Structure 1
Amino acid sequence: MKKEVWKALGYGLAIILILMLTCSFILALLLRFTTIDTNIINLLTMILAMLILFTGGATAGHRGQEKGWMYGLLTGGAFLLFIILYQYLGLEQGLSLAQLPYLAGMVGSALIGGMLGVNIRSNPAARKK
């Protein structure tokens, strides 16, 4: 792959990692210091994961500047690979069929983020054209 693809993918994955760690810390604090129900935490975790992968895909698409669907798909796929490896090597568990819709939703969210991220312009002069 080209250097630009790796750079865009790296930015997207870095954003995902930073946001995931931050949200995990905040959710852990919520679990520790409040009486919030775990079902609400599970729903909140899924919503945050979708938003984070959307943001990571959008960042990768923005950095790539073209073919946002590809950057979003690569970002979501790399995250999916990380989750599979962590679960298999770290937790000694395989994927279950119940996880597949969630993981597909996350990759789809990154894909959509990548498509929309291409259209984000950082230069205000470029918007006027």
Structure 2
Amino acid sequence: MPISSRTSAPGLVIGAVAGLFAGTLVLAGGAPPGWAAVTGLMLALPLAALGAGCSALREHGVLRGGAFAPVALYWVIAFPVARLVQDVGTRLVLDERFDWPPQPLAFLAYQALISVGFAIGFVWVHERLLPRGAPR
């Protein structure tokens, strides 16, 4: 199952935009620009990679287009992973220490709940970025 740039582009774009949005929110919250850039980049990279993977799975029929549940299940796992990478990576870059978030299981459970909203947005945007719609 080869992955082309056309196949992965929607997920890459969605991940990059989500990271940019996160960085902008951190900046608007009063953090220094460097912190905002690190926060955005640390979220954009895993979300772009996981989004490209989700797009490829949809394009190849593994995650059926037009159905929300398979994509939601993908993001229930992928989104908490992306947020964990962001949280740990941001601490590593800014504080120069490797540390887990406080109460890591609660952190991951909360991210899994939020992932459903991200999955809704992912499906909505994904189906509009593909010229012919999602594969069925």
TM-score normalised by the chain length of structure 2: 0.46
Higher relative contact order (CA 8 A, sep 6+): 1
